[in-house]
Each structure stands twice: as structure tokens, then as C-alpha cells.
């Protein structure tokens, strides 16, 4: 049997890298086999077949008109680091299968944890799992219910259900009732609006968790870190690295104020394990590698510059909306998220009629539809977005 597929192939890897520089037209998924082929195409032919589907058929998250979701473009250093990590396929479940990869994750967490007043934690595939992990630790510490605002992320309700804990939604953190046996989840960057809930809320709760999936990275910015003052007083925190730390999916961190007992409470041992398995995941890969590469490449100041620029883009979009005769903003941007709308054309009609080079998301707030622009793309152009929305609305008035 030919084992060359498991060794570097200069022709194939060089072609795949060159493809990143080429303008590849959108491919047709219908051209792929509808059943598993009995005979393979070969690695290079497979890549050549897939390039139009994978590269050409992907949304360009770094396009000037992409001012839509909490999904950023990724710096090229993460592409290289991800390829390296994939080539070695380390399994962080076992120290002997991932000696350096485990230490890389610990190093990355140790770099980031102090910005949140935390002692440590570990990576997860996203903040949904990070939130589940934190609530699990809270339950093991004695929490018997989950309390969160009605605008909390859907993962909080899901996590409570998975853990068999009652979920109580509240509309005002000043009227929560007894929290002595509760884990209170405060959101730093609501998904629809970007709003940061009061970080001095629920101080009587048995456990306080801050879901900082979106706004958490602002702690690295000297200009904006104050927006999360108080985050250091929580028992746990979740941050999505694949949002405002510009990482490939799937990458997030769950932090704990006192991570050793927290980790111990959510660890499971096994006969085949050299060390206990911590958290929800069993086998998992070296997702910390591209994050380490990014932090090492740009440092705190470089990441902060990207965040500050993104916040400025949201402010610029807000000024354009407020100065127009046909659009209104719901409020000034919250953590880089602006909700706005046309005065007579619905948000859904505008987004469905946008030109191919502009993208805006939508959301429902208090029963009303709004356009939603998230400053996750440092290359976004507010003029392009507003102009596209104006052209789309003009077609419908």
C-alpha cells in the first residue's frame, strides 16, 4: 500500500497555497458525486475539484461591504498555524500524544486570564460549550438554578436544560429575588444589540458567570477595557476567540477565578487516561496553536489596535446613519454593534435586496425588526454599507 499520502507533498501543498491567491469562481455543489465514489479522484484532483466550492463558494468576511455578523476574517498567520496543527493532529486528551500542544494551550490561557481577573481555564470549541462548562462547575459548587436576563444567549437556556437545572429569565437585575442558590449569568455583549449588562449585578448569587463571548476581548484595549470593569469579580467567564480575537472556528476560552478546584469538580478519570479529563470535551485538537500564533505575532497592542479600529468603524456607521434623511439608529453602538433601520422599508426587504457586495444582518428587538451591523471586520467600509442599504430601499419606495 502507498503511504505517501501521510508525508508532505510539495506539488499538492504548493497548489493549495497558490489557490489562496487566485480569484476562484463559485463552484456548483451539484457537480460533486451524490454518492461516495468507489474509486478516489486522488488528492490533488480532489483539491482542484473542491477549490471552487470551498474557496469560491465562501462568503468573503473581509469584504468592504461585510458589516453584518459576529464572524471576522482571520489573519493569514492563523491559516499557516492551523495547517501545522492539522498536519500533526495532536490529541490534547493525552499528554503523550500532545506534549507541546497541551503546554501551548496552558500558555495561551495564562496570557489571557489576567485581563479578566481569572487564574486559568481551558479552550472549548465555542462559547456555547464554554458557558455549559462554567454552569457545570457552578452546579458542582452548589448552584441549583440558572438566572439570566431575557436577552441572554440561547446557550444559557440550553446549558441549564442539559444540566437539569431550572432556568429563570429576568428583565431587571435589580429585581432578581433570592440568588443564594443560583448561578447568575451576566452578558457582556448581547448578541442582538452588543449591550453590556451591569457587571456589578447579582452580587448575592452563589456563583457569578459572565458571558463575554463578544465583548470580552475589549479587555485588551486601553481605550475600551473600562467597558468591562467589574469582570474581574466573577467566578467564571467565557470568551469567543473566533469572534473578536479573529480566530478560525472553533475557538473559545472558559476562565475560572480559581481554576484548580473548578477543574477538579468537572474532571473525570479513566483507566486509559494518564491524567483526568477536564471539562466537556474528550479528544480535542490544538486549536490554541493559531491563537498563540496570533497573540505572538501582534501582541496586546496589535490586537487592541484591531479592536479600537473596529469600534471606530461602528461609530462611523452610526454617524452616517444619524446624518441621513432616511435611516434611524436605535442608539449609539454598543460594543461595536449598531442596530438601525429605514424609516419606511422593512429590514427584511432591505437585506433581501442588497447588492452582492454588501451584507447586513437583522434582529428582532421588543418585537420590532432592525438592521444589525457588527464591527467584526476591520476592513469594513461604512459608506459602502449605507449606500447599499439606500439603493436597496430606493427600489422598494
Q: Output the pLDDT for position 360.
A: 97
Half-sphere exposure of residue 35: CA atoms within 13 angstroms, side-chain side: 3
Residue in 124, 359, 86 with CA at minimum distance from that of residue 240: 124
Span 49-62, mean pLDDT?
A: 93
Q: Output the pLDDT for position 212.
A: 98
In DSSP terms, 240 is beta-bridged to 252
Q: What is the pLDDT of residues 369-391, one digit of tens each?
A: 999 999 999 999 999 999 999 99
Q: What angle do CA 381, 382, 384 make, to 5 degrees?
A: 70
| 193: pLDDT strictly greater than 90 | yes
Q: Output the pLDDT for position 324.
A: 95
Strands (E), the chain: 120-124, 145-149, 167-170, 182-187, 207-211, 236-240, 252-256, 267-268, 277-278, 327-329, 337-342, 361-365, 368-374
- In angstroms and rounded to an integer, the radius of gyration of the C-alpha atoms of the chain is 23
Q: Output the pLDDT for position 60.
A: 93
Q: If you write DSSP's letter for every residue of 159-177 in order, what string do you get?
A: HHHHHT--EEEES-TTS--
How many Å apart are CA 246 and CA 41, to the nearest integer? 34
Q: What is the pLDDT of residues 154-177, one digit of tens each?
A: 999 999 999 999 999 999 999 888
Q: Which residue has the higher pLDDT, 307 or 395?
A: 307
The region of weakest confidence among 154-158, 254-258, 353-357, 363-367 is 353-357
Q: Are 130 and 253 in contact (CB under 8 A)?
A: yes
Span 89-106, mean pLDDT?
A: 94
What's the pLDDT band for 355 if we cut at 50, 70, 90? confident
Span 110-139, mean pLDDT?
A: 98
Span 193-203, mean pLDDT?
A: 97
How many Å apart are CA 314 and CA 230, to the nearest integer? 24
What are 233's three cell numbers? 469579580
The mean pLDDT value of the chain amounts to: 96
Q: Output the pLDDT for position 396.
A: 81
| 2: pLDDT strictly greater than 90 | no
- β-strands 252-256, 236-240: how paired? antiparallel
Reduce the DSSP state of residue 91 to 3 states and report it: coil
Please give the model's pTM, rounded to 2 decimal places.
Answer: 0.95
Q: Output the pLDDT for position 356.
A: 76
Q: Are 297 and 306 in contact (CB under 8 A)?
A: no
Q: Output the pLDDT for position 331.
A: 97
Span 234-258, mean pLDDT?
A: 98
| 138: pLDDT strictly greater than 90 | yes
Catalogue all structural domains in the chain, each as residue range(s) with its CATH number: 90-286 (3.40.640.10)
What are 41's three cell numbers? 479522484
Q: Output the pLDDT for position 397.
A: 77
Amino acid at each position: 500500500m502507498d503511504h505517501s499520502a501521510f508525508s508532505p507533498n510539495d506539488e499538492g501543498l504548493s497548489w493549495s497555497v497558490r489557490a489562496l491567491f487566485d480569484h476562484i469562481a463559485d463552484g456548483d455543489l451539484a457537480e460533486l458525486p451524490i454518492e461516495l465514489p468507489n474509486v478516489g479522484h486522488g488528492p490533488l484532483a480532489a483539491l482542484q475539484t473542491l477549490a471552487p466550492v470551498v474557496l469560491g463558494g465562501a462568503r468573503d468576511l473581509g469584504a468592504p461591504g461585510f458589516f453584518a455578523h459576529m464572524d471576522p476574517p482571520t489573519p493569514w498567520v492563523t491559516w499557516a498555524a492551523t495547517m501545522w496543527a492539522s498536519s500533526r493532529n495532536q490529541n490534547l486528551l493525552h499528554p503523550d500524544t500532545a506534549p507541546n500542544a497541551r503546554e501551548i494551550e496552558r500558555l495561551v490561557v495564562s496570557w489571557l486570564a489576567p485581563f479578566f481577573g481569572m487564574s486559568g481555564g481551558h479552550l472549548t470549541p465555542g462559547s456555547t460549550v464554554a458557558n455549559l462548562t462554567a454552569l457545570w462547575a457552578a452546579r458542582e459548587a452548589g448552584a441549583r438554578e440558572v438566572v439570566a436576563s431575557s436577552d441572554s444567549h440561547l446557550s444559557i437556556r440550553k446549558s441549564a436544560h442539559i444540566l437539569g437545572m431550572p432556568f429563570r429569565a429576568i428583565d431587571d437585575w435589580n429585581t432578581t429575588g433570592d440568588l443564594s442558590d443560583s448561578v447568575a449569568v451576566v452578558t457582556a455583549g448581547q448578541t442582538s444589540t452588543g449591550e453590556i449588562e451591569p457587571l456589578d449585578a447579582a452580587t448575592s448569587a452563589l456563583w457569578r458567570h459572565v458571558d463575554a463571548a463578544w465583548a470580552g476581548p475589549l479587555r485588551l484595549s486601553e481605550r475600551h477595557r473600562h467597558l468591562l470593569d467589574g469582570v474581574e469579580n466573577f467566578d467564571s467567564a467565557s470568551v469567543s476567540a473566533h469572534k473578536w480575537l479573529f480566530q478560525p472556528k472553533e475557538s473559545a476560552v472558559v476562565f475560572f477565578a480559581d481554576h484548580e478546584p473548578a477543574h477538579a469538580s468537572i474532571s473525570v478519570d479513566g483507566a486509559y487516561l494518564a491524567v483526568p479529563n477536564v471539562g466537556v470535551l474528550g479528544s480535542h485538537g490544538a486549536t490554541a496553536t493559531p491563537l498563540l500564533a496570533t497573540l505572538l505575532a501582534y501582541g496586546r497592542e496589535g490586537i487592541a489596535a484591531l479592536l479600537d479600529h473596529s469600534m471606530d468603524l461602528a461609530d462611523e456607521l452610526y454617524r452616517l446613519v444619524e446624518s441621513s434623511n432616511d435611516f434611524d439608529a436605535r442608539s449609539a453602538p454598543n460594543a461595536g454593534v449598531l442596530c438601525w433601520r429605514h424609516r419606511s422599508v422593512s429590514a427584511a426587504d432591505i437585506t433581501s435586496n442588497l447588492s452582492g457586495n454588501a451584507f447586513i444582518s437583522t434582529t428582532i428587538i421588543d418585537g420590532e425588526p432592525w438592521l444589525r451591523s457588527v464591527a467584526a471586520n476591520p476592513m469594513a467600509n461604512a459608506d459602502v454599507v449605507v449606500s447599499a442599504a439606500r439603493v436597496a430601499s430606493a427600489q422598494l419606495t
